[in-house]
Amino acid sequence: MTDVELAKKHGETLLKERITTIQKPFSYEETAYHLPISFALTGTAVHDRQAAADVFAKTGNNPIVASECLLAESTAVSGKEPDPYTGFISDTVIRKLGYSLVDGSILGLALVVGTPRSAGSAAAVCRELQEKYMLTFLAGPVIPRLSGAGVKLGLEYRLIPLGSTPFHGIHFVDIIARVAMMFGGVTPGDTQRLLTYAAERAKAIVIVFPGLTDEEIALVDGMRVLGFPILSLGEYEGGTWISATPEDVVRLGMEQKGIKVNVTAIPIPMGCSPAFEGKSIRKEEMYVEFGGGRSPAFELLRMRSPGEITDGQVTVIGPEIDAMKEGSANPLGIIIEVAGKTMKKDYEPVLERRIHNFVNYGEGSWHVAQRDLIWVRLSKEAVAKGVKIEHIGKLLASKFRMDFPNLLDAVSVTLITDAAKVLEAKKTADQVYDERDARIKGMHDSDVNLYYSCTLCQTFAPNHVCIITPERLALCGAISWLDGKIAYEMSPSGANQPVEKGAVINAQTGEYEGINRFVKKASHGEIERCSLYSVMEVPMTCCGCFEAIALMLPEVNGIMVVNREFKGITPSGMTFSTLAGTIGGGAQTPGFAGISKNYILSDKFLQGDGGIERLVWMPSQIKDELKARLEPKLAERGLTGFFEKIGDETTATTIEDLMVFLERVGHPALAMKPLV
Ligand code: SF4
Ligand code: NI
């Protein structure tokens, strides 16, 4: 038995001594927050011994700070640990996680450290965490134990192997420190707000297996300051750690943080959880595939009247899995029929897009794209465990009922694997897609009086409000006007509310009285005004999960866009992650706006700032992604040839080079009204 209090005291003394032995300067790449914990607590950028010692003293010899500095130094000395260890997690990865932290697919965060006596019990604890929608980080010998037992690790499985020692658990804390600064608007140095934020908003728990050193005990115990319950699986006594068994530890931890979860098991021979959503099934791992250009495939969700379908009915038309050759591509039609008193035809496409999520929830099933572009794979492992085509149908039927209990009374699924029948049914599907496109295409912001708000991200950015219009997708790229409308109809007191536009203040910049009123109230009085189509004066607030940033470059009288995936330096002199670090947290920053990538295609993009002709630079990756859709739009607007005038990292990486480039191509922004 280890006495936690004694070990902790000893550990703290050791840490204090070790801080003075730091030799080498250190820093992490791919973050704008230096050593995030030290930075969040004190506002100081720590990169060497002197700063480390200062910050350590300033925080009252905080063991978390000491551990952070020591680990950063040892990483600088010996380099990043080899795979599978992730080491320090980049800002980009955290921002990508942003949306799942608020949409309910991640309910909380867990850190698991130590040396489990049996691999089996560790695997069971981790599986329970996955099934209960927790994002789990691992540090120390628990990692080789799990991988030795065949447990798949990685962000895509929501089991993230941080590093080879429990000390690497510090990266769990530095993530939470960054979430607080990125999304929560916590100012670096505002210790009190950081601690309150971590305790109240970060639903984080720590699970400890035996075998920690005294220093590691001091580190783990230090995490209690942030309000994380420490749950111990044996060997430790005293202190305020909570004793638990592998069977009850997850439940106890989640209860401590008030995390409620409702998981009903679906009776199919594979696991089913959002934890598996991000995984991939590689060619070597797949048993069969469907679509993806290799065979005809499509999916379609349609509304029926209640009498027409039998709830839970799953029909397979054509060969089952045992009649398919390993490694082959097969035809597939997924037809879902739903009925419900409040269901409407308008909801069909929104529900249809959920097929993608649900199929990916299956541990051994994978899905990409939509409509007749889908590509689906089943893994060898799943098929060996008895998964059949029929089970995909069961999974879909159950998930639709579970996730839309108020909307749907009956769901039935038909899976067609017979080639001729797939082609026949696809004709009908194509007609439905065309009708839907025609309906949505004509939608303009001016056609409706109601826009929709979204305040989901207030979980992390307490004053942030998104206003979503037909021509302006939300900055996270995940919620359209129609999604907002449907979400409101399905849950009238939820995070999406109708917003009456009200009287026009400025039609060009998209400023309306009703929107201002709504934003003021929803931002708790913080934001007085908000323009929909302008980056310049009173842009929409940013939470942190924007797909891209639009920002002014006054030197060239234009506006540039940079997407989250772009790692290089932009003509603003900053990288995406540095820029992202200066906005966000629910603040309004004139000259900057968080946007979705698709918004660039909208007629309303930059309308208040002179239109898309203001766009002077964006990374080639996003240009390639949008090209096929953007060029015809530009042509429609009489801007043929404009696409080539937009700079990118191959033509300019500095503002000077950009100026030269823009002058050479005769970019229209140079002749426009001055931005500032
Ligand atoms: Fe967050 Fe806005 Fe997306 Fe809602 S719409 S999830 S508030 S970014
Ligand atoms: Ni957000």
Distance from residue 98's CA to the centre of ligand 1 (Å): 10
Q: Which residues pair with 289 in a beta bridge?
A: 329, 377
Atom of ligand 1 nearest to the CA of 484: 5
Break the chain down into helix, strand, coil percent, rounded to 5.
Answer: 45, 20, 40
pLDDT score of 274 more than 90: no
Q: How confident is the model at residue 588 (pLDDT cuts 50, 70, 90)?
A: very high
Residue carrying the six token digits 């202190």: 239
Based on the number of CB atoms within 10 Å of its own CB, is 503 exposed (0-12), middle (13-18) or buried (19 or more)? exposed
How far is the centre of ligand 1, averaged over its atoms, from the C-alpha of 543 (Å)?
8
Q: How many CB atoms lie within 10 A of CB 439?
A: 13
Q: How far is the CA of 368 from the centre of ligand 2 (A)?
A: 24
Closest ligand 1 atom to 455 CA: 7
Best residue for ligand 1 mutational test, from 99, 456, 458, 497 (most atoms within 8 Å of Cβ)? 456
pLDDT at 543: 84
Residue (of 498, 499, 526) closest to 512 by Cα position = 499
* 28 contacts: CB under 8 Å, gap ≥ 6: 34, 35, 72, 75, 88
The chain-wide mean pLDDT, for the chain, equals 93
Query: What gap in Å lies between CA 178 and CA 184, rounded to an integer?
Result: 9
Phi and psi angles of residue 260, each rounded to the nearest 5 degrees, phi first: -105, 135
- How many angstroms does the Cα of residue 632 sit away from the middle of ligand 2? 31
How many other CB atoms sit within 10 Å of the CB of residue 230? Answer: 24
Ligand 1 atom at minimal distance to the Cα of residue 543: 8
The enclosing H or E element of 10 equals helix 4-19
Nearest to 542 by CA among 584, 513, 601, 582: 584
Which helix (H) or strand (E) segment holds residue 263: the answer is: none
> Rounded distance, CA 675 to CA 611, Å?
12
Nearest C-alpha neighbor of 429 from the set 440, 441, 414, 445? 414
Find the 411 Cα to ligand 1 centroid distance in Å: 29
pLDDT at 310 over 90: yes
Counting ligands in written order, the one closest to the CA of 182 is 2
Q: Please tell me the number of Cα atoms within 13 Å of 108 on its side-chain side.
A: 27
469 CA distance to ligand 1 centroid (A)? Answer: 13
C-beta separation of 297 from 372 below 8 A: yes
| Ligand 1 atom index nearest CA of 103 | 6
d(CA 606, CA 187): 30
If you write DSSP's letter for every residue of 119-132 in order, what string do you get? Answer: HHHHHHHHHHHHHT
Band of residue 97 on the pLDDT scale cut at 50, 70, 90: confident
Please give the Cα distance from 486 to 480 (Å, whole number).
Answer: 10
Determine phi and psi for 461, rounding to 5 degrees: -120, 90
Over residues 537-557, mean pLDDT: 93
Residue 478 CA: which ligand is closest? 1
- φ and ψ at residue 100, rounded to 5 degrees: -70, -20
Q: Does the pLDDT value for residue 99 go beyond 80?
A: no
Task: Please name which ligand lies nearest the alpha carbon of 465.
Answer: 1
Atom of ligand 1 nearest to the CA of 458: 7
Specify the residue with its C-alpha closest to ligand 1, atom 3. Answer: 476
Q: Hey, which of 97, 100, 454 would you mutate to test ligand 1's pocket, going by the most ligand atoms within 8 Å of its Cβ?
A: 454
Q: How many CA atoms lie within 13 A of 529 on its CB side?
A: 15
Lowest-confidence segment of 27-41, 163-177, 373-387, 474-488 by average pLDDT:
474-488
**pLDDT of 293 over the 90 cut:** no
Tell me the mean pLDDT in the region 277-304.
93
224-259 pLDDT, tens digit per residue, is 999 999 999 988 988 899 999 999 999 999 999 999
Ligand 1 pocket by Cβ (under 6 Å): 99, 102, 454-457, 466, 474-476, 478-479, 543, 545
- Gap from CA of 454 to ligand 2 centroid (Å): 9
Read off the tokens for 589.
Answer: 């920053």
Q: Distance (Å, rounded) from C-alpha 63 to C-alpha 222?
A: 6
Task: Give all domains of the chain, ordered by start, each with its CATH number.
Answer: 3-256 (3.40.50.2030), 280-439 (3.30.1650.10), 445-671 (3.40.1470.10)
- Nearest atom in ligand 1 to the alpha carbon of residue 474 is 5
Report the separation in Å between the CA atom of 457 and the middle of ligand 2, taken as the mean of its atom positions. 4
| Residue 130 and residue 136 in contact, taking contact as beta carbons nearer than 8 Å | yes
Q: Please say whether the beta carbons of 534 and 589 come within 8 A.
A: no
Residue nearest to atom 8 of ligand 1 (CA): 476
Nearest-CA residue for ligand 1 atom 1 is: 457
How far apart CA 315 and CA 333 sit, in angstroms, is: 11
The atom number, within ligand 1, closest to the CA of 475 reads 8
How large is the greatest C-alpha to C-alpha distance in the chain, in angstroms? 77
Q: Which of 175, 30, 154 is nearest to 101 (CA)?
A: 175
Q: Which residues of 171-190 are buried (b: 16+ CB within 10 A; e: fewer)?
A: bbbbbbbbbbbbbbbbebeb
At 36-93, the pLDDT tens digits run 999 999 999 999 999 999 999 999 999 999 999 999 999 999 999 999 999 999 998 9
pLDDT at residue 440, as a whole number: 65
CA of 160 to the centre of ligand 2 (A): 22
> For 661, phi and psi rounded to 5 degrees?
-60, -45
Nearest CA to ligand 1 atom 2: 466
Closest CA to 609 of 625, 594, 585, 590: 590
Q: Which of these, 609, 617, 676, 610, lies nearest to 646 by C-alpha position?
A: 617
Ligand 1 atom nearest 479 alpha carbon: 5
Q: Looking at ligand 1, which atom is closest to the CA of residue 594? A: 8
CA dist., res. 89 & res. 68, Å (int): 13
- Whole-number pLDDT of residue 95: 87
Distance 320 CA to ligand 1 centre (A): 41
The answer, yes or no, to whether residue 217 has pLDDT greater than 90, is yes
> Hey, which of 457, 473, 530, 541 would you mutate to test ligand 1's pocket, going by the most ligand atoms within 8 Å of its Cβ?
457
pLDDT in tens, 363-422: 999 998 788 889 999 999 999 999 999 999 999 999 999 988 888 999 999 999 999 999
- 418 Cα: distance to centroid of ligand 2 (angstroms): 43
Could you tell me how many residues make up the chain? 676
Candidate of 96, 101, 102, 183 to mutate for ligand 1, largest count of ligand atoms within 8 Å of Cβ: 102
Q: Per residue in 256-266, is it b (16+ CB within 10 Å) or e — as a string?
A: bbebeeeeeeb
pLDDT at 311 over 70: yes
Nearest in space to 121 (alpha carbons), one of 220, 253, 249, 235:
249
Q: Indicate the top mutation candidate among 455, 543, 588 to test ligand 1's pocket, ranked by most ligand atoms within 8 A of CB.
A: 543
- In tens, the pLDDT along 429-454 reads 999 988 887 776 678 999 999 999 99
Provide the H-helix boundaries in 583-676.
Answer: 620-636, 655-665
Cα of 550 from ligand 1 centre, angstroms:
17
CA of 275 to the centre of ligand 1 (A): 21
Distances (CA, A) of 34 to 28, 78, 128, 208, 374: 7, 19, 34, 28, 42
User: How many C-beta neighbours within 10 Å does residue 492 have?
Assistant: 10
